[in-house]
Structure 1
Amino acid sequence: MTTALITGATAGIGAAFGRRLAADGHNLVLVARDTKRLREQATELHDRHGIEAEVLTADLATEGGIESVEKRLADPRNPVDLLVNNAGFGNKGRYLEVSMADELTMLKVHCEAVLRLTSAAAASMRERGRGGVVNVASVAAFVPRGTYGASKAWVVQFTQGAAKDLAGSGVRLMALCPGFVRTEFHQRAGMGTDNIPSWMWLDADKVVATALADLARGKQVSIPDARYKTLLGAAKLVPRNLLGGITSKTGRKYGPQ
């Protein structure tokens, strides 16, 4: 049985990855900050699917948290075959309305942690000649829309570059770029969602199913819904300077308030 490690595993897309991978027979390493929720999740997945679910409490906004997950990924006695870098969050407010400390914490989780955990996993995977990494980004990566979008753009560019460098090694890397997904993300950030049209919402389990299928096909970027593929295709036709104004206005109209 192969083993998958999932960060941000207790809710949303991370929890959906856990459900799907456990149902497919994978053992799991579940990573998040809340030990109680992790243990409850591990017990449920073990009882339902008969897999082994290891709990690793870690805050990826801290040096110690990142180091503990790096250590687990590098353990040759208990190899990880699939890494899902899903941990992330949003800050409420526009640029200069969010504290610098919160901005830097976002970059720590979205960029530094992704870089270090991907590197720890990929190094071990390359030695074995097999493995996969899914870095959860966002469609916000493709439009000029604040620090969140910028950090997710970094995830996409980093993942694509690393995937090219590891081509032929047996290690696959893919950036997953969903749109709005019904999770705890906006609630945790104190963002309202009543102004977001119903057609823009995606189901986490369907997002994960598409992501795993795209990873198996060797895709480097997965946009898991035709609606968002269409929107991003149209955005490519708009001049960059004009796109910035459009996305800013659209974000204020339809984005979390």
Structure 2
Amino acid sequence: MKALPIILLCATTPLLPAQSAKPETAETAKEGKDPEEKPAMIAEVLGKPIKADQSEALTSLIFTAMMGKYAKEKNIEATDKEIETFLAKGDEMGKVSRQGFVKDKKRLEEELKSTTLSAADRKKKEEELAMAEDLLKTMAEDADKPPERHPEETKMAREFVRTWKVNRELFKQYGGRVIFQQAGPEPVDAYRDFLREEEAKGSFRITDAKAKEVFWKYFTDESMHTFLDAKDGAQAMEIPWWLKEQKPE
């Protein structure tokens, strides 16, 4: 069973900040309140309550539910062909990575032949060489195995592709500025406008003032982001990185 490609280990949702509006249980205890009292509801999304003890996950819970709702309404899904194209690109990147490690191994072996290296430099290069050799060994073992897809690999690829397609559709509908995160481009202005509409519809509501402030910060605080220029942002939302050399569908 092959190891999952590095590209599939990134998140498929925005790199949202951790929710800091955590209930002060210690303070509650000091005030003499029942420590076993059920946590109060601080929000609701699609009819499901979010309690105070879930405050750190509030942003993720609401955002994920809203993206799922949008995907369902727009009939957005990743096709088998799109998933295979994505995975094939990951395989290609793995081969490129292997070539890079081979070059690193040869370079380090040559550098370690030097008699002028300090003890510290020699130790560092020996550690780097050992790491490169371990990685190449793992890659060689994977290459000798029959080609097969780990079910989790396919599942993550499906979600990754679907997320990008949702982002593209949101950008087409709402426009706005785009940022680039580890998992790819994000139409953050489109997120904001879509979420405001859904809040107005009653798809979700946040009753705790502090939690509400933290939730909206990622989508409204410009100081948190570096925006792509309009042309680059539009291009990033039109063609995913794994299809850069192909025509968009």
- Structure with more of its chain in strand, by fraction: 1
Q: Which has the higher contact order (CA 8 A, sep 6+)?
A: 2
| TM-score, reference length from structure 1 | 0.23
Q: Which has the larger radius of gyration?
A: 2
| TM-score, reference length from structure 2 | 0.23
